[in-house]
Amino acid sequence: MSEAAQTLEGWYALHDFRSIDWAAWKAAAESERAQALDELQSLLQVWSREEADKNGSTAFYSIVGQKADYVLMFLRETLEDLNAIETAFNKTSFAAFTKPAHSYVSVVELSNYMAKPGSDPLDNPDIVARLKPTMPKANHICFYPMNKRREGNDNWYMLSMDERKAMMRSHGMIGRSYAGKVKQIITGSVGFDNWEWGVTLFADDALQFKKLVYEMRFDEVSARYGEFGEFYVGNLLDGGKFAELLRV
Ligand code: 76R
């Protein structure tokens, strides 16, 4: 058996994609819409206080295209916290104007492929911070799930630790060349959801997603072993922008 990579886990993640029920929204009375928006704004305030207190982080983005209208991505200490957030949202009158579009459950993950031998990663404050990250308020988000292939001769899980390390190093070097332009959060979802990882990227310039993902396709670990699900891309929201978007 090949040696499994050691992973460190941080906050749990829920990507909650919803669509607006525009017919119901437009048919509602002005007062109902105002009430619904108020309830949503209160939750947004609760979530932003949790972020300020470093008890989690929340990202709020519109989604371009028909897969969803918006995503709320939550990072919290436990799966119970994520469940409580979902339930609190579902109890608002705003939720009645939304339809589920997609969701993804995972946990922030760092692997030891690039770790310095002999050191305890948890002594490194940068690593600890990456396990419980405050998500940046970048202009754009990009999310997609992925697997590492295990088919015939292309089976990631049959490779030796050294072979995987060499490939992950090359991957990491490409990634690092986008430092300052793209922020990535890798979340592991083996045992939690349909794919092995969720890839969430943040950037002020959306073209950097295309350039980064394209460049990585030529790198062996993506070219030979990467399998990808659906891509979601969107624009930064806040309570005010969302109210504007919903004005009918
Ligand atoms: O520097 C380090 O210590 C981290 C190095 C690193 C690891 C271990 C790293 C760097 N990644 C790692 C692991 Mn990544 N990453 C992806 C995708 O579209 C594709 O082809 C793949 C989707 C992108 C765009 C991306 C970006 N990475 C992983 C893993 C877990 C693998 C495992 O455990 O087997 C996956 C699934 C994955 C996928 N990667 C980086 C980036 C970027 C931008 C970096 C540099 C980040 C930084 O230095 O802050």
Q: 36 CA to middle of ligand 1, Å?
A: 39
> Within 13 Å and on the Cβ side, how many CA atoms surround 92?
21
The best mutation among 135, 168, 219, 220 to test binding of ligand 1, ranked by most ligand atoms within 8 Å of the C-beta, falls on: 168
Residues 6+ apart with CB under 8 A from 194: 145, 229
Q: What are the extents of the domains in the chain? A: 7-246
Print burial letters for 214-223: b (CB count within 10 Å at least 16), e (below 16).
eebeebebbe
User: Residue 119 pLDDT > 90, yes or no?
Assistant: no
CB atoms < 10 A from the CB of 247, how many?
7
Please compute the mean of the pLDDT values over residues 20-42 and round it to a whole number. Answer: 98
d(CA 125, CA 214) in angstroms, rounded, equals 31
Confidence (pLDDT) at 118:
85
Confidence (pLDDT) at 23:
98
Residue 117 binned pLDDT confidence (cut-offs 50, 70, 90): confident
Q: What is the pLDDT of residues 159-193, one digit of tens each?
A: 999 999 999 999 999 999 999 999 999 999 999 99
Q: 175 CA to middle of ligand 1, Å?
A: 6
Please compute the mean of the pLDDT values over residues 104-122 and round it to a whole number. Answer: 92
Residue 222 Cβ inside 6 Å of ligand 1? The answer reads yes
User: Residue 206 pLDDT > 90, yes or no?
Assistant: yes
Confidence (pLDDT) at 116:
84
- Which residues are part of a known binding site for Fe-coproporphyrin III? 130, 144-148, 171, 184, 222
The C-alpha angle 228, 74, 192, rounded to 5 degrees, equals 50
Query: Beta strands of 77-191 (E only): which ranges?
Result: 98-111, 140-148, 150-151, 154-155, 182-188
d(CA 242, CA 224) in angstroms, rounded, equals 40
| CATH architecture of residue range(s) 7-246 | 2-Layer Sandwich (3.30)
Residues 205 and 181 sit within 8 Å (Cβ to Cβ):
yes
User: Residue 10 pLDDT > 90, yes or no?
Assistant: yes
User: Residue 115 pLDDT > 90, yes or no?
Assistant: no
- β-pair type (232-236, 56-63): antiparallel
Confidence (pLDDT) at 125:
92
Q: What is the pLDDT of residues 43-66, one digit of tens each?
A: 999 999 999 999 999 999 999 999
Catalytic pick among 12, 70, 144, 225:
144
Please compute the mean of the pLDDT values over residues 198-222 and round it to a whole number. Answer: 98
CB atoms < 10 A from the CB of 82, how many?
20
Whole-number average pLDDT of the chain: 97
d(CA 43, CA 47) in angstroms, rounded, equals 6
Residues 188 and 9 sit within 8 Å (Cβ to Cβ):
yes
Please compute the mean of the pLDDT values over residues 35-46 and round it to a whole number. Answer: 98
Residue 130 Cβ inside 6 Å of ligand 1? The answer reads no
Q: 186 CA to middle of ligand 1, Å?
A: 7
Which protein residue has the closest C-alpha to ligand 1 atom 21?
222
User: Residue 74 pLDDT > 90, yes or no?
Assistant: yes
Which amino acid would we find at residue 6?
Q
Residues 6+ apart with CB under 8 A from 140: 61, 202, 203, 204, 205, 206, 209, 233, 234, 235, 236
Which ipTM score applies to this complex? 0.89
Residue 202 Cβ inside 6 Å of ligand 1? The answer reads no
Confidence (pLDDT) at 244:
97
User: Residue 114 pLDDT > 90, yes or no?
Assistant: no
CB atoms < 10 A from the CB of 29, how many?
8
Is residue 232 annotated as a catalytic residue, yes or no?
A: no
Report which ligand 1 atom has the smallest distance to the Cα of 196.
36
